[in-house]
Amino acid sequence: MDIDVRNLDNAYELCKQLNSLANDKGSELISALENNVGGLKTNWKGSDATVHINNLIKVHDALVALVTDAKTLTGDAADLIIRIQQVRKSNGGSPVVGEALSKGAPASQALPLVEDTGEFFVKPEAAGLASDLADICVKFNNFTTNFGNTKDSLFNEEWHAGGGRDNIKRCFEEFATHAEEYNGYLNNAKTNLETAVANMQKI
């Protein structure tokens, strides 16, 4: 499979940046969300809680899919670029040759949705989980902004065709179309949980 890029080294660096964002910040977000959901399942019960926890699970699972695709697809593209860099080097050109990038799924996989048990309570530990969720909201915004900017630079400036470009672009843009919805899920869950905690502290 061939790949058509404007500048080999710039294209490789952007693939590397996307791969690193997914592998580091993306995986960190997934882990934080998984831990938060796990805590909420035992410390926040009620019909509203069930809806919000399931929405957080949707965000978690979307991030798992994005990180898996980003690592695998940018890794494959980097392999194609590296092959051309090696040919360039052997022909007496630039000695710059990139290294293979990380591929594969994050440690966390899709989470099962929760069911409403009819219980209603908010335990004291939920206050800490609300604080953690607020931090996750900030990190999600930072991640999606950085990922989107890097993605746009790669596709608009460096990567013209080939190497599965259309498939990769479609995967990334599918997530981008739902990013605002996911952001709403996170913030609504945070606000609802903070309100629930505040109300229970008044009792």
Residue range 134-175, pLDDT digits in tens: 999 999 999 999 999 999 999 999 999 998 898 888 889 999
Average of pLDDT values for 177-185? 96
pLDDT at 183 over 90: yes
Q: Name 107's Cβ contacts closer than 8 Å, sequence gap at least 6.
A: 27, 31
Q: DSSP of 1-39, one letter per residue?
A: --EEES-HHHHHHHHHHHHHIIIIIIHHHHHHHHHHHHH
Amino acid at 119: E
Q: Residue 1 pLDDT > 70, yes or no?
A: no
- Taking residues 177-197, report their average pLDDT: 96
Question: Tens digit of pLDDT for each residue in 68-127?
Answer: 999 999 999 999 999 999 999 999 999 999 999 999 878 788 999 999 999 999 999 999
